[in-house]
Amino acid sequence: MDKIKLTNHLKDIELKNKMFRLIDKANVCLKNYEIKNTEFMNPYEIKNAKDILNSEINIKYHSDGGYEKAERSIISIFPFYVDYEDIDSPIRFIQIEGNFKFRSISHKDYLGSILGLGIKREKIGDLLIHDEFCQVVVSSDICDYIVLNLTKVATNKVKVREIKRDELLPSEKKYKEISFTISSNRLDCVISGIYNMSRQDSLKYINAERVSVNYEKISSASKVVNAGDLISVRGKGRAEVIEIGEETKKGRLKTKVRILL
């Protein structure tokens, strides 16, 4: 598979490098008939990866995030004559338990404690957060390491154990709903409204390539934002646009978003 030809349309260097690694794995599969797994990818990366893999008829692939509607998934690439059910799963599952009655523990706390063990973000899938525990989808090769070494989340002592796939419990996302008005539905205007910052500051985040819309990195402030879009600003968090509605008397657009907590 030709890496340059298959990724020529991609402008994001980070995404292009990930697709290079994907194609390298696919070529090893084609040459040596080996089963290869990617690291965890977000939905936009998964979409690009599938488009590339669909160009080769002599391999098959399967994406798995552990449960239906998982955000982050691993892609397994294998020879055309192999069935996915016959290969070892590239993911495992852990549950982090502790006494969290006196302090609310967030997604950031759990993820930060895991990454603090020296583990790359790409080795970690979704975190399903509940009141007294958190379930995490992880790459198979680092599961035992986390179970043995994760002893604290924030200042709380925790116990970690491996669980089975059918023990995963979906969690409801917590969010804060806010409303504001904007002069237009350009990305810089929407970011300014969500995070209560100036247009100039929102441009700094966009120009620094710290902003994504629906997981795609965006470098244009003039990108049009629509209802249903998921906006991520690195260092600030994520927000889902619920509505960009009617104009006010002053010609501004009424906007409603959910900031994910």
What is the reported pTM? 0.90
> Tokens 């244009």 label which residue?
220
pLDDT digits (tens, 9 = 90+) for 5-27: 999 999 999 999 999 999 999 99
* Mean per-residue pLDDT over the chain, rounded: 95
Q: What angle do CA 79, 49, 187 make, to 5 degrees?
A: 170
pLDDT band per the 50, 70, 90 thresholds, residue 173: confident
| Among 114, 96, 120, residue whose Cα is nearest residue 41 | 120
Q: Kind of pairing, strands 253-260 and 36-37?
A: unpaired
Question: CB under 8 Å to 138, separation ≥6 — which residues?
Answer: 91, 92, 93, 94, 123, 124, 125, 146
What count of other Cβ atoms lies within 10 Å of the Cβ of residue 151? 13
pLDDT digits (tens, 9 = 90+) for 214-231: 999 999 999 999 999 999
Element (H, E) at 157: strand 156-163
Residue 39 and residue 124 in contact, taking contact as beta carbons nearer than 8 Å: no
